[in-house]
With several copies, the nearest count.
Chain A
Amino acid sequence: MNNKPQLHVPHPPARPGEKPDFSYVALSPAGAVPRPSPGANARDIESLAVELVRVLDDGHRALGEWNPALAPDTLREGLRIMVLTRVYDERMLKAQRQGRISFYMKSTGEEAVAVAAGMALDPKDMLFPSYRVQGLYLLRGVGMVDLMCQLLSNTRDMCKGRQLPVMYHSAAKRLFSISGNLATQVPQAVGWAMGSSIKGETSLAATWTGEGSSAEADVHYAMVFASSYRAPAIINIVNNQWAISTFQGMAGGQGPSFAARALGFGLPGIRVDGNDFPAVYAVTRWAAERARQGLGATVIELVTYRAAAHSTSDDPSRYRPKDEEASWPLGDPIDRLKKHLVALGEWSDEKHQALVTECEEHVTRSWEEACSYGTLNEGPRLDPLTMFDDVYHDMPEHLRRQREQLAKEKA
């Protein structure tokens, strides 16, 4: 009890120069959390929102009821996409440093929240991604060259030069257009899911947003609508501990977890080790089964760590200890899945190295091809007059005139 009141302002456990401290991250042992039936009553499974579903233990074995017992091929495919994502991220960061692209955002250290979740879903399920789940695109087979062309805003840019790098989309692969405005996709996903029910279809919608973004109104709308209409949706809140310089406790406040936000809406909330591939897979599959049974949405908090800078415009050493990542208790998703496969006798260091090399070659080849279609500063360029397309389905007179004016200006 304070004598003189003062404003309480949440603090991260450590700022630069201080000792990293993740004791605030509540852990459960691997295999310890029971797996209820996907048809369970939400009120009977509230503890899932504060425990931490984990499958992989420190000895790299998969344990417990949540173990999805995935076939080695599936695990290897997951590993491959995660490695590909990481290699892609590394190379694109380099491209940005070299001035070939203007901006980039890595997902390093949190590849599983995209890849494992995405693999647990049906290709017909619609995904509403944030900007930090690029693994979904690689998983669903959007061409790497296409992704790179978006980054380059070149002649083959799917966004026709209009969007900041990483704001991908793919209608064919059911990946919705990424918005620069945080969290707006979350209630849209619920609306899509409502549409699925209205049409009598079983496809669900899954969406990803950051823990910092969960403070936005849109996440509230999403929960309200998901709760009222029992929309077949999966709302993923990626708690990577940081929102630019702001630590998770600023959005989390005194709450027990982000998953627990779901409970007041009667939605299951599940807190899962976001760096544990089988755990993320299992939890997502559980939520998908539940949704397809007509029981509505689940909120999943994926606990992970943003190992990279927020973006290429950011320097995290200004606001968090440099060595913080080393203390992160949930390790690295690629490393853990790799060791699990090795422990299963289904993988080796050599094979892993070969995979990395293969991915690097793929990325390099793709990059060369992508650059051949132009970069921001060199090579062929999209026609600037296309900037007037797609504002509307037709081009109103005033835009036609502005287009003409620009044509003259450029002449």
Chain B
Amino acid sequence: MARMNMIQAINSAMHTLMDRDPSVVVMGEDVGYFGGVFRCTEGLQKRFGESRVFDTPIAEGGIVAAAIGMAVNGLRPIAEIQFADYVYPAYDQIVSELARIRYRSGGEFTAPVVVRMPCGGGIRGGQTHSQSPEALFAHVCGVKVVMPSNPYDAKGLLISSVEEGDPVIFLEPKRLYNGPFDGDPHKPAVTWNTHPQGEVPDGDYRVPLGKAQIVREGSAVTVVAYGTLVHVALAAVAQMGIDAEVIDLRSIMPLDTETIVRSVKKTGRCVVAHEATRFAGLGAELSATIQEECFWSLEAPIQRVTGWDTPYPLAFEWEYFPGQKRLITALNKVLDPDPEVNS
């Protein structure tokens, strides 16, 4: 066991994978000599050589396309997109190709590519360094979508993703790289040093895809979150002193519907929370599925806590970010609904 932040955990996962499996290669803008703008690939090129860890031209579509070709040739590429906001030039190769190769070839060809990318706001990134595009991939059948909320899960999920056999969009909430973040930018930053999930085995282990984790048990209300919002949710329910159950999805597609439904049937109340924009976001899927499955147990309408339906504005980052206050308002609404307002 070692203490790692999320960057180190992701780095450690790649070391573990590459050590064990010569078919694993790492590619992306500035990932080689430099070790990546967030330093997730530090030391990999030195250790595994340039044929397995290399910089690419600035062409996200080319990166994913080349990774597909390599995967078809038996390699297991891990491609880094420098920011999730810059994945769209690769969208066609992901949606039309990566996601469909197994299907359209009747299973004869597969392209097990993992596309890693930092996402989310809270680092003064403005509208093009803050996006959370998970819903844009979750709607696309054929790719799996993962978003860890802590170093332990990050490493275990990345190892599982590379081994999965399916293409995986691996989203890393960059505000969590160096420490958990409860949504309050005015508090001094904390590190992963003292966090239980900052303990990460040096060696090999897996966190399975498609399995959520109950990070806090409770019976009054269920909060379904992932990524940064897991920490915001924990802080908000602690502040309120309520007996909430908090679920960290970890995998966005496939969803661990079973865990969610079991919880909501128990609590009868639910808030879903993410940083991405609201309209047609993943929260909508969660809410729709939960009301389908738990309708007769629900005591109040499910609330969504999300970023607004605007780009992520630099100067109003903290007004945009769905922090504890927004979450508490929603929790209060589901705990003490007013049928007159939403009748």
A positions within 8 Å CB-CB of B? 6-7, 9, 15, 102-103, 126, 128, 153, 157-164, 167, 169-171, 176-177, 179-182, 184, 186-199, 205, 212-213, 215-218, 220-222, 224-225, 228, 243-246, 250-251, 253, 313, 318-319, 376, 381-382, 384, 387-393, 396-399, 402, 405-406, 408-410
Contact = CB atoms under 8 A, between A and B. Distances in A.
A177 B109 contact: yes
B59 A224 contact: yes
Contacts, number: 272
A169 B103 CA distance: 12
B105 to A, nearest CB: 4
A163 B92 CA distance: 18
Interface string B69-95: 110111100000000011011001100
Contacts of B129: 164, 180
The 5 closest A-B pairs by CB, nearest first: A191-B69, A161-B315, A180-B128, A221-B62, A191-B66
Residue among A9, A224, A388 with most chain B CB within 10 A? A9
A307 B141 CA distance: 38
B97 A171 contact: no
B34 A318 contact: yes
Given A180-B128, A396-B210, A215 B58 contact: yes
A250 B55 contact: yes
Contact of A162 (B60, B86, B313): B313
Contacts of B325: 409
B50 interface: yes
Residue among A177, A397, A409, A410 with most chain B CB within 10 A? A177
Residue among B30, B66, B97, B316 with most chain A CB within 10 A? B66
B329 A9 contact: no
Contacts of A225: 56-57, 59, 62, 65-66
A181 B66 contact: no
A181 B308 CA distance: 21
Nearest to B113: A191
Given A192-B72, A408-B329, 4 more contacts: A181-B85, A251-B58, A387-B319, A397-B210
B103 A162 contact: yes
Contacts of B124: 102-103
Interface stretch (B194-202, B227-235, B251-259): B251-259
10 contacts: A153-B315, A162-B103, A162-B126, A190-B66, A194-B70, A244-B34, A387-B320, A388-B310, A390-B102, A398-B257
Contacts of B105: 158-159, 169, 171, 177
B309 A398 contact: yes
A180 B142 CA distance: 17
Contacts of B69: 128, 187-195, 205
B334 interface: no
Given A218-B65, A382-B315, A384-B319, A243 B101 contact: no
A98 to B, nearest CB: 15
A191 B73 CA distance: 9
A253 B62 CA distance: 14
A398 B65 contact: no
A188 B89 contact: no
A164 B125 CA distance: 7
A181 B103 contact: no
A381 B105 CA distance: 18
B97 A179 contact: yes
A179 B104 CA distance: 8
Nearest to B82: A244
B291 to A, nearest CB: 16
Contact of A384 (B32, B56, B316): B316
Contacts of B166: 392-393
Interface string B103-115: 1111111100000
B239 interface: no
B206 interface: no
Residue among A187, A215, A218, A253 with most chain B CB within 10 A? A187
B62 A224 contact: yes
B313 A387 contact: yes
B319 A406 contact: yes
B117 to A, nearest CB: 14
B314 A163 contact: yes
B295 interface: no
A392 B210 CA distance: 13
Residue among A251, A319, A387, A399 with most chain B CB within 10 A? A387
Contacts of A391: 102-103, 141-142, 309-311
Interface string B299-320: 0000000001111011110011
B98 to A, nearest CB: 10
A162 B85 contact: no
Given A195-B69, A250-B57, A179 B329 contact: no
A179 B69 CA distance: 14
A245 B52 CA distance: 18
A344 to B, nearest CB: 40
A198 B320 contact: no
A390 B37 CA distance: 32
A194 B101 CA distance: 19
Contact of B128 (A171, A181, A215): A181
B172 to A, nearest CB: 17
B96 interface: yes
Residue among B57, B61, B165, B314 with most chain A CB within 10 A? B57
Given A376-B315, A392-B142, A246 B108 contact: no
B104 to A, nearest CB: 5
B288 to A, nearest CB: 12
A245 B50 contact: no
B126 A164 contact: yes
A186 B93 CA distance: 11
Contact of B67 (A191, A218, A245): A191
